[in-house]
Amino acid sequence: MQRCLVTGGAGFIGSHLSERLLELGHEVTILDDLSTGRRENLNHIENHPRLKIRTGSITDPVLLADVMTKVDVIYHMAAAVGVKLVADDPVRTIQTNIYPTEELLRLAVQRKQRVFIASTSEVYGKNPKERWTEEDDLVFGPTSRPRWAYGCSKAIDEFLALAFHRKFGLPVVIGRFFNVVGPRQVGHYGMVIPRFVDSAMNGGPIVVYDDGQQVRCFGHVREVVDAVIGLVETPAAHGLVYNIGSDFPITIQKLAEEIIQRVDPAVKLQFLPYRDAYGDDFEDVRRRVPDVSRLEKMLGRKPTMTLGAILDDIIRWKREQLSASAKS
């Protein structure tokens, strides 16, 4: 049994990670200020005897130091996330993503704790390659575009983590997530699949930004958290960066059509310019596809769940939520 801290543990990925750690027999402490995480994500585990939930922000250094005492492993999932949140509030993005990470790493070195740092495919910026490898260049747009604040802030997190590994031998792993999806994810912050599914269930239209030819890959959260835990538990993986997610590409228009086919074929598509969704200074990435060979080589596996199976799982969960809400 290990004692684990999950920052952002009430969030979408964090709640699944916490649940999986409990299933594996570990003790889990969750720290979350519930700004983007949701307490209902923890309903099914909140009374677990090996779980502690602390409500508060990772930006509070006293609280962070307190929850980091007497733990063996830290899964640092807390961050300002979501395209819409980043576009609306780049100051919050930068302050939430950088300073607490530096403090967490400093404390972890003193206490000889293992650390997982959650990063993002956003760090690649607008690198034009067909598939991104972990050693590819990071290509950001100008600082006048708030769109790039998230990727830049998480890149700084990575630089910090790797510097602590090189200088102090900190056993840290960095995971760059590529569009992680599944039950419990909500569409409030620009998350595309829950937004599309909600729209389809409400009769449409499904609003697709720009021309819908943007290419993305979607990995199921269960496979992602198993990869995260596997990397932390593999000493040879420490000190490296890993792409984590599916490597099967699909256009956003095709994604919307797959959801319509499953929910209601009568639902229509509607296209909306980026400027109407995010403002005139928004800039997007046309293609975001990972090379996950490093992950597969280290763990002997990679996320393989098909998009169809993922969508079926999400739609089933959404319908169960609606049914439960109607009964209450």
Per-residue pLDDT tens digits for 82-135: 666 666 777 877 888 899 999 999 999 999 999 999 999 999 999 999 999 999
Peptide bond into 249 cis (omega under 30): no
Q: Is the dihedral of CA 84, 90, 96, 97 positive or negative?
A: positive
- 40 within some domain: yes
Q: In whole angstroms, give the CA distance from residue 221 to residue 181.
A: 6
- 145 within some domain: yes
Residue 104, domain CATH: 3.40.50.720
Tell me how many domains the chain contains.
Answer: 1
Q: What is the percentage of the chain residues whose pLDDT exceeds 70?
A: 97
Q: What is the mean pLDDT of residues 1-10?
A: 97
Q: What is the percentage of the chain residues whose pLDDT exceeds 90?
A: 82
- 139 within some domain: yes
Position 75 confidence tier, pLDDT thresholds 50, 70, 90: very high
Provide the residue range defining the domain that includes 103. 3-180+219-247+289-305
Q: Is the dihedral of CA 23, 178, 304, 297 positive or negative?
A: negative
- 29 within some domain: yes
- 188 within some domain: no
Closest by CA to 155, choosing from 55, 241, 59, is 241
Q: Cα-atom radius of gyration of the chain, to the nearest Å? A: 19
Give catalytic residue positions. Answer: 150
- 123 within some domain: yes
- 191 within some domain: no
Q: Among the listed ranges 40-44, 239-243, 319-323, which one has the minimum average pLDDT value?
A: 319-323
- 88 within some domain: yes
pLDDT of residue 88: 75
